[in-house]
Structure formats: C-alpha cells, structure tokens
Structure 1
C-alpha cells in the first residue's frame, strides 16, 4: 500500500466491460433488496405502532416505531466499514451477492416475529435486531452496485449506467408500495393479525432470485486489472482516510439529500394519515407509488443529462428544487386536499428529487480511485444516510404535541438540502475524467496533464 496517489493509476487501459449486464444486475438486485428495506418503512408508519408496541400509548408507540426505522441507518456506517473493506479487497460481485442474502433472510424473519400482545417487550427487541441486520446489508448494496456499474461503463456514459442502481432502488420502493396497498386495505383485524406479515414473508423469493442473478455477473475490468497489477489495497480504510478523507466528508454532507426520501416516504405518510389531517392510508400509498413510477423514468433522463453537462448542475437542481418543493408538498397535505397532495407529491419525489437521486452514484463514485472506491462511497453515504434515517425521528419531535407543525419539518428538511448544495457546489467536476484516472490528486506534484486537462475543460 503506497501513500502516493499516483499508485492509484492503472498501468494500462482496462479491458472492455459489460455495462448493460452490469446495469441490469445492479437494477434487479437493488430493486429486490430495497423492496425488503422499504416495506419496513410503510409498516413502521401504518402497522407496527399497534403490533409491536404498547397500544395503550399510541403517540409514544408511533414515535418509537418511527425511531426503529432509523435504527437501520445507524447500523449502516458499521456495515459500510466492514463491507467496504471486503469489497475493495475481494471484489464488487462478492459483496453484491451476500448483501442480498442477508437482507432477504432478516426481512423474512420480521414476518415471523411474535407481536407485543404475545410476548411483550421481547417483540420490539427482536424487531430492532432484524432492522439492524437490514441496515448492515443495505450499507454495502448501493456502493457495491454503483462501483460495479461505474467500472463496467464507458467513460462518456458513466452517469447513465450508474443511475440504474438508484433506478432499481426506486423500483424496489414502488414494488414495496404496491404490495402494501392491498395489505393496507384489509380490515383492521386482518391487517394487524396476519396481513402485515405477507410482504415480509415474500422476501424469501427475493433472496433466492437475487442470489441467482448476481452469481452470474463478472467482476469489473478495473478491479480485475488492479488485482493483476497487484494494486488492490491491503488496508482500504487506512488508505481512504489518509489520502481521501476530504472527499469522504463531502460525500457525507451530500448524502443528506436522502432526508427528502425518508421524510416523504415515512413522516409525511404518518402525518397525512393522522387524525390531524385524516387522509386515507391507501390513497397516500398511491401517491408514493405513482411518484416512484415517475422516478423510474426521470432518473435515467437526469443521469443522461449529467453525461452531457456535468454532475454538479444536475445534482444542484435536485437539491435546491427539493428544498423548495418540500414546503409545497407538506402544505398540500395540511389542506387535506388529496388531488393537491397527489400532484405535488409526484412533482417533488418523482421529478425534482430524482435529479439529485439519480446523479449521486456517479458523482460520489468518481471522487475515488478504484482501490478505495467501494469503501469511500459506502462509508461516506452511510454516515449521511444514517442522519437522514433519523430525520424521521427528529421530524416527529419537531411537529409538536398535535403532530401538525409541518412548517418546522419543512424548514428542517430544507436546511439539510442546503448543506448538500454547499458540499456539491464547492466540489470538483469529474464527468470528463477518464475512468482509470478518477480519484487522483488534483493540483499536486503527481497530477498528470491528462487529468488536469479533463477536469478543467
């Protein structure tokens, strides 16, 4: 392991990758994995307060249930360190396979757990444990899939191909929402007794399907050549923190954009279906489902645009637009108007947020060289995502005793979007840098003319 950043440069151009196959594997795997991850969010907002917590104190039960949603995000930084290390040491494909196995198993077991009425406080303890395992799995999923697609993609289309990881994530969220719609429509007695278990038990199919698909994927040309040249980092974390700590911090700050997703998917759903507003839970799930369907189309379009004009401008449109649209969406919910809520929700999450959401896989991945790319993305994003995960809990505190202070929640969300904006606006543009030269130091004595020219033009 050398502290010389020039050691990050490979000796020759890597062989041609298989971008379409890599993108498909990333898409289908992320869709299956995040189906598991996001059904928990719907259940935490609509079901778990009455199943896993004391029904005699519904306000506290809702608060704690939303907090358990954030537990997975707290576990993700630890998972990022461990899985990032092995991903940079052993390869991207290995991590992509095992994250799906861990996610599928832990989600299936949630569907088998006893309830509070059956075993008391043991029930929420087991629930939190399974949520921790979900978080550990998710920590390595997106980073490994992003590294896989970025390193297989042609240099001029890295934004487009890496966006399929997030497109898969949106598909998983859409699938989770669609599965939960008929479940949420069940009579309360059936919903709270057995109905809520069905989406979780289906994850057994998810785990098997994802495992079969990802086992057939080849390792990336960049990693294969690094292995052949003996340039795989022995201690990726040490290398990362010594030579690339500033970019890790930048990714942490930029990753706070995920707050928009957690507030939209969990807090706003809980607020809209509360007594303060009274919108129907099935109707609100259709808002989320439609917004995710629109995002499936918007994400690759925004990503393709970033291959033409750069990562930063597209991401900034998403961050600044989300900061403004969150006020509009939460205000629409507060009016109790379902048509207004539907339209603004689709605009916020389906269109505007997709600009940032579809760009970050390439934006973050291009900050790091191949030898520490998975670790850099995993650790940076998961720390930021951990904060975003607990944003739901913070919002539940901000919204006041009556649960209707949507303005305070909107200000909180917009403030985190402002941090994202500053982090990305002050960073360097990388969309024209050759793949083999990504992550090299800029402006130092070891910088190559090619890199300097690529960055400045």
Structure 2
C-alpha cells in the first residue's frame, strides 16, 4: 500500500496540544471517579456495604473494585468497534457521561443496614457501568492524541493521557483526606457520599473541553477513502493477533498502580499508619508523577519506547519491597521518599510510555479496538490484584513479602513481552502497524 508524506494541510488539521489537553481532562474525570471508588473500597465500603461482623468484608469490598475489570473486555470490544467505525471523539463523549452518571448514582445507594445484600448488588452494577466506560477512555484518548501528534513527539503528547489519570487520583485522594477525618457517625452515613456526588461538577467541565475536539486526520482520511473496516475486530485478529497478545501481557504492569494506590492503603492501615498519611502518600507520589511522566514520554521520543517501558517495569519490581517494608518502620519521611521513588521515578516510566508503545503496534483502522481489547484484558490483573493479594495474606503484618513477590511476577511478564515488540519511534504515523511488505517508500 503506497503512502504519502504528511503535507501542510494535514499538519494544519492536527491539533496535538488541544488533543492532549482534552485527553488529560477526560482521563482526570474518568479516573477521579475510578480512584474515588478504589479509596472507598479500601476504607469505607467494608463497613457500609457488607456485614460489619464479617471478616471477609475487605476481600469482598476489593472484589467489587475488581468487577469493573470484568466489564472492561466486553466494553473494549463494543467501544473499540464504534471508535474505529464512527470516530474516536464520539465514543469518548459517551464514556465521559457514562462514568459521571454511574459514579453519582453510587453516592445515592442505600447501605447494607438498609436493604441487606441488595446494597452490594447495586454497587456491583454501578461498578460494571464504570468499567464499561473506562474500557474505551484510555484507548480512545490515546489513539486520538497519537494521531494528532507530530511524528517526533508522539510519546510526549500521548503521555498526557496517563498524566490525566494521575490528576484524577490526586483529586480523589485530596477529597478523601477530609472524609476519613470525619467522626464515624458522619463518615459512614453521608460523608463518604460527597466525593461521588462531586463527580457531576467535574464531568461538566471536561464535557465542554472535549466536545470541541475534532477527529484526527488519520481517521478522517480513512473514512473519506472508504478504508473503514466493517467489523474492526475481524481485521484486528487477522492482522494484529500477536500484537494484541503482546499488549495483554505488557498491560499486567498496570497492577503496580492498583497495588500502590489501593492495596498499599489497606496494608498501611493494618500496620499502624494513619489513614490520612496513606492517602497523602498517593497524593505526593502522583504530584511528582505529573512532572516525571511527560519527561519520560519525551525521553521515549529520543531513545525509544522499549527501553523506557522496560526500565519502568524492572524498577517497580525492585523498589516495591523497600516501599512496603518501610510502612512498618518508624520513619514517615522514608515512607514518602520510597513512595515517590517507586511510583514517580519507577512505575511512571512505563505508565507514561504505554499509550504510544501499544498504540503504535496497530494501524489506524483498528487502533482503537487493538488498544482497548489488549489493555482491558491485561488490566484484569490490575483489577483483581487487591483481592488476590489480600486473600493470600498480603494485608496483614509481614504481608509486604507477598505484595513484593506478586509485583515482581507481573513486572517480569510485562518486561519479557515488551522485549519482543518492534521499536516504532522512527516509524511515520501513517505507516504504523503496516506489514513489512506494505512499508514502501513514501511518494514525493
């Protein structure tokens, strides 16, 4: 298939800064909602939605967190299909509204004391809606930003999609800090509901930012030339089956985030850390990651996606045991230093690079589907990591060894998979995902 160089007209149609800003805000909203649920699952839901005398309430609460990841693969197929058929921007508007609505409803749910086991059942339904929404958010935002970005800065601009998730997590943690400080009678009655209700205001802001963004040139050109696949999933399996498998395995790295942002909170509380301190660990580490992730993205544009991703995976595995072990010590300063080192200078490298690393494995006609399906299947590990590790004894005195071993295994899988991938930093955007026999020299 012959391709042509990108001309001035197409460069004019590309709006990388606007696309990155819209992706940042959309991801911040989506993952504010997502991380509010995660914080509540660790600190509130075991008391509110499950029998207070049930020792397994924490495991069941973390399981509700994981249910969203069950919905994600199904949402990835559905939203990926429409994202590759009708456009990235339209699907992203839908995911934004669905996430906002389901999160607001969670704040209105009755408790276990009011309606019994129907309460956690309703919570699971809302969580499934959140998962369906999240299935298309990052893949769509990353695809849209990548296709708007200049060839030599794709990793930098797409890193803002994941930096938006850090912004969402920061906001969620900041809002939960005063909530956990409330007296129990307020905290467990109406106080915990406020962060979920506030999602409505954040959604409105992101809605108006995202609605003005147009489709990227790569998708518009494919649609105009009739190259849109009737069933993108079929073309994805036919042309990119092994790339999907590769992304699934690489996406195991996302479990580091749920270990750090959800499981570590519960473990810190168990070994005596104040709840507010555990939340401040998340805030500080994510604040630093707001700076380091774009820098890692820029580094990947210079030296390649693979070395930066592999560094992030290996450093996460190496640093996690030191971080978890420090929670049982006497130095809160050391805990904060190791939290920043593990998350902001370790995991952040892989987190910043994966939107470009994964997206560049696929051609434009199946990019949304490929990223969505591959990541969401891989993210199942992240979703159930808290309940799996809790069930293995990770949230108890000395459980840091279980957490460290789990992190090492998933990072090793991601590293090996990444090493099998092709380096794409020097491949022009219009040639990404093409077979070797299709990569003919561009016409002048």
TM-score (norm 2): 0.96
Partner of 2:234: 238
State the Cα distance separating 1:159 from its structure 2 match: 0.5
> Which residue number in structure 1 is paired with residue 27 of structure 2?
30
Please give the residue correspondences for 1:441-456 in structure 2 after superposition, counting only pairs within 5 Å: 441-442=435-436, 445-449=437-441
**Structure 2: distance between partners of 1:328 and 1:230:** 54
TM-score (ref. length: structure 1): 0.94
Residues 65 and 404 (structure 1 numbering): CA distance in 2 closer, same or farther, change over 3 Å? farther
CA distance in 1, matches of 2:415, 2:84: 29
Task: Map 1:242-253; keep pairs closer than 5 Å.
Answer: 242-253=238-249
Equivalent in 38, 42, 54 of residue 39 of structure 2 = 42
User: Once structures 1 and 2 are overlaid, which stretch shifts more, 23-32 or 329-338?
Assistant: 329-338
Equivalent position to 1:292, from 286, 289, 305: 286
Shift of 1:342: 1.4
Report the equivalent of 2:61.
65
Q: Paired residues, what number?
A: 439
Does the 8 Å CA contact 1:148/1:220 hold for their aligned counterparts? Answer: yes
In 1: Cα distance, 2:161 partner to 2:177 partner: 25
Show structure 1 runs of 4+ deviating over 4 A.
9-12, 400-403
| Higher alpha-carbon deviation: 297-306 or 389-398 | 389-398
Of 411, 414, 430, 2:408 maps to 414
Counterpart in the other structure of 2:312: 318
In 1: Cα distance, 2:246 partner to 2:442 partner:
24
1:364 partnered with 2:361 = no
Determine which of 128, 144, 147 is the counterpart of 2:143. Answer: 147
Distance (whole Å) between structure 2 residues aligned to residue 327 and residue 156 of structure 1: 36
What corresponds to 2:156 in structure 1? 160
Q: In the TM superposition, what whole-angstrom CA distance separates every residue of 1:223-261 from its partner, at most 9, and x where no partner exists?
A: 011111111111100000111000000000000000100
- Kept in 1, the 8 Å contact 2:267–2:396? The answer is no
Aligned to 2:373: 379
Consecutive unaligned residues of structure 1, counting only runs of 5 or more, are 1-5, 452-457
2:6 paired residue among 13, 26, 33: 13
Asked whether the 8 Å contact 1:364–1:377 carries over to 2, the reply is yes
Question: 2:399 corresponds to which residue?
Answer: 405
8 Å CA contact 2:27–2:162 kept in 1: the answer is yes
Tell me, what secondary structure is at the counterpart of 2:174? helix
Unaligned stretches of 5+ residues in structure 2: none
Residue in 2 that maps onto 1:177: 173
The correspondence of residues 337-356 of structure 1 with structure 2, limited to 5 A, is 337-356=331-350
Q: Supply the distance in 1 between the matched residues of 2:296 and 2:116 (Cα, whole angstroms).
A: 48
Q: For 2:330 and 2:247, how far apart are their aligned partners in 1?
A: 37
Checking the alignment, whether the CA contact within 8 Å between 1:10 and 1:226 is kept in structure 2 is: no
String of CA shifts for 1:15-52, please: whole Å, max 9, x gaps.
12010111111011111111011100000000000000
Per-residue deviation, residues 307-335 of structure 1 (Å, max 9, x unmatched): 00000011111000001011111111133
Deviation at 1:350, TM superposition (A): 1.6
In structure 2, distance between residues paired with 1:336 and 1:318 = 28
Residues 1:408 and 1:132: Cα distance change in structure 2 (over 3 Å): same
Q: CA deviation at 1:210?
A: 2.0
Match of 1:396 in 2: 390
How far did residue 450 of structure 1 move? 6.6
